[in-house]
A = this chain, B = another copy of it.
Amino acid sequence: MKSYDTAACEILKKAEIAPGFFDLTVSCAEAARKARAGQFAQFLVPGKTLRRPISICGIDRANGTLRFVFQVRGEGTRALSLLNPGEPVNLLAPLGNGFDLGDTSRRALFVGGGIGVPPLLEAAKPFGKNAVLAAGFRSRDAVILKDDFESTGCETRIATDDGSFGRRGLVLDLIGDLAFDVVFACGPKPMLRAIAKLAAERGVPCYVSMEERMACGIGACLGCAVKLRGENGDYFGHVCKDGPVFDAETVVWEE
C-alpha cells in the first residue's frame, strides 16, 4: 500500500562541489529500491509550508542510498545545504515518472543546462559509451559532474556562457555535428524548447524533464500544471505525476 518514504532518512555525505552547488547522499533504502532515473524527491524543510522538489542524481540500491545535487536558490535550498552528515532529513520519494530509457544501444544525446545536468547522470549510465553529454554552465567554476559522466563511459562536451571552460556559447552549439537516435534533456525552458525543435527537425525522439512550482508532489493538488497537447486539444498535465519527464512533442512550448 505505502509506496513512498516520508520517514526521516539520514544524510550520509555532503560536499559543496562548486560554489553554491551541493551533493548529498541520503540513506533511504526503500526509496532507493523503488527509484529510477529521472524521478525526484520532495524534501521537507523545517519551518517551510512546502517541500522542495530535487531530482534523483544517483541511485545505489546495494547501499540503499540516493544522491542529490542541488543549487542554493533561496531559503529552502539554503536550509538543506546546512544539513550535515548524521542528521536526519525527511523526504517523500521516489516521485514522478522518470526517464523511459528504451533501447540503451541507441546513440543517446544528453543535453543539460546548469542544475539541469544532475538528473541526467543516472539515465546516462546504462548507455555507457553510446552516450554523449552536451552541457552548458555559467562559467568554469559552475561546471559540475563532468567526471561523473565520463566515468560511465559518456563523452562530455561543455560550453560556458563566458568561455572560461570548454566552448563559449550555448549548449546547442555543441551538437551541430553529432548523430544521435534519442535525446534526454533537462534545463531552462528556452534550452528545452530549442532542443525539442532540433530533435523534431531531425525526427529523433526527445524527452525533457520539466520544472514547475509544487505543493503536494503526488498529483492531488493540481498545482504543478504544464500545458500539453492532447487528442482533444491542449490541456494542463502535471509535472509531479505525468512528468517530470515528458515527450517533447506533447509539450506546448509557449512564449
Contact = CB atoms under 8 A, between A and B. Distances in A.
Contacts of A46: 47
Nearest to A48: B47
Interface of A is mostly: loop
A46 B46 CA distance: 10
Contacts of A47: 46-47
Interface string A38-51: 00000000110000
Interface string A82-121: 0000000000000000000000000000000000000000
A141 to B, nearest CB: 30
Nearest to A46: B47
A46 B45 CA distance: 13
A46 to B, nearest CB: 7
Nearest to A47: B47
A47 B45 CA distance: 12
Interface of A: 46-47
Task: State the 2 A-B residue pairs at the shortest beta-carbon distance, nearest first.
Answer: A47-B47, A46-B47
